[in-house]
Amino acid sequence: MFKPLEGVKVIDLTYFVAGPGAARILADWGADVIKVEPSFGDPGRGTGATMSCPIVKDCNPFYTAYNANKRGLSLNLKTDEGKAVLNKLLETADVFVSSYRTGALKRLGLDYDTLSKKHPHLIWAQINGFGDFGPAKDNAGFDTVAFWARSGAMIDITEKDTSPVNPLIGFGDATTSCSLSGGICAALYQKAKTGKGCKVMVSLFSQAIWSESAGMVSTQYGDEYPKTRKNPGSPVMDTFKSSDDKWFYMSILEPDRYNNALFKELGREDLVDHPDYATAAASKAHSAELVEILSAEFAKHTMDDIAAMFARADIAYDRVQHIKEVLDDPQALENMYIIPVANRDGTVTKQPMTPIRFATAEPTCIEDIAPTMDRQAPLVGEHSVEILKEHGYSDEEIQKLIDTKVVYIDKL
């Protein structure tokens, strides 16, 4: 795959998922991403344990998902020597990305105001929980808190009259990482024109609000959440179950055009041009009734039969899959959205790939735009020596930094 960010250097001072995910995207696009960690490592190295994943050095697939294709440097930034090393790297870096809270960055002298004066060429990018202003600006904000709970997503995407959803860890993080990587690229364009860096900001809370933008608008005009599938906003945009117990989602955005075709496929000619069901306005007014009718009709047919009906009527639908099923989804596999990746211990994990691909000519096969994982997530400080040598440090200077515990190198 063509990698448009080759030659771009990124210093990655992030932890857990959202920040590392943004830097992983940049690495996939060709940037040289240097992951900077303390000797004890990014605490995200242990997050996989909460999701039943192995977290040992030679097999940490959850951590690899957000940190592959990076190099690792371990620095003690509480020492002047460690800060000096990082400052030397920033002299030639294009991007500094962090998910540390602003107070911590100020204490380290790595806040935007300080670094922009030292390095006006530098793009300074940050993910935080709730934004740069307001009463919650300094609050800790994991995606479960800032993206899911405060935004309303945790309660309003559930079936009505049930408990709040227990969200998938990292869902909001990964979404926000896409926005930050895009913002960084816009800043790189600005830098290419002017030679100057800028500050790029995104919060988990802001991302959630944008992700919910349809509801943010519609609830001001009478739309209500959470909804129930028994009485949705539109009866032809809902989940139904086949006779072989398979859930699917049907999405008819133009009821006036497609409802009659649906009724005919179901053998319900009595509903064709029915004043209560054939149009968008009428079907919405009789939503609960039509959902009950359609549920009964779909329950008479297998999923294969229903799929054939939808194909003939050109109606958008798909099966409601579990995450585990997607690992073997032929569409995901053929596009290499998921690929088998060998862990350091020789075991294999099916890893999700970052979503955007690039090409300089029309792809003729998936190999033309195939994603690459050139390296597993680095061990803590795995590439410290080579990175320091690239920045002019001698063997003696590097050894002194190691001996004084300014630099750390983890090994298998």
Q: List active site positions.
A: 173
The four Cα atoms 166, 168, 169, 173 give a dihedral, to 10 degrees, of -120
Peptide bond into 226 cis (omega under 30): yes
The three-state DSSP-derived secondary structure of 104-155 is HHHHCCCCHHHHHHHCCCCEEEEEECCCCCCCCCCCCCCHHHHHHHCCCHHH
Return the structure tokens found at 400: 């002194």
d(CA 200, CA 132) in angstroms, rounded, equals 11
d(CA 283, CA 289) in angstroms, rounded, equals 9
For the chain, the distance separating the N- and C-terminal CA atoms, rounded to the nearest angstrom, is: 31
Question: What count of other Cβ atoms lies within 10 Å of the Cβ of residue 316?
Answer: 12
Return the structure tokens found at 367: 């190999």
Contact 70, 27 (CB under 8 A): yes
Contact 54, 17 (CB under 8 A): no
Contacts of 394 (CB under 8 A, 6+ apart): none
Best CA proximity match to 11, nearest among 54, 79, 62, 75? 75
Burial 13-26 (b: 16+ CB within 10 A, else e): bbbbbbbbbbbbbb
Judged by phi (left if over 0) then psi (alpha if -120 to 50, else beta), residue 254 lies in: beta
CA angle centred on 335, ends 332 and 341, rounded to 5°: 75
Side-chain half-sphere of 399: how many Cα atoms within 13 Å?
3
Dihedrals phi, psi of 287, to nearest 5 degrees:
-60, -50
Contact 14, 98 (CB under 8 A): yes
- 3-state SS of the chain: helix, strand, coil percent to 5? 45, 15, 45
Burial 135-166 (b: 16+ CB within 10 A, else e): ebbeeebbbbbbbbbbbbbbebbbeeeeeeee
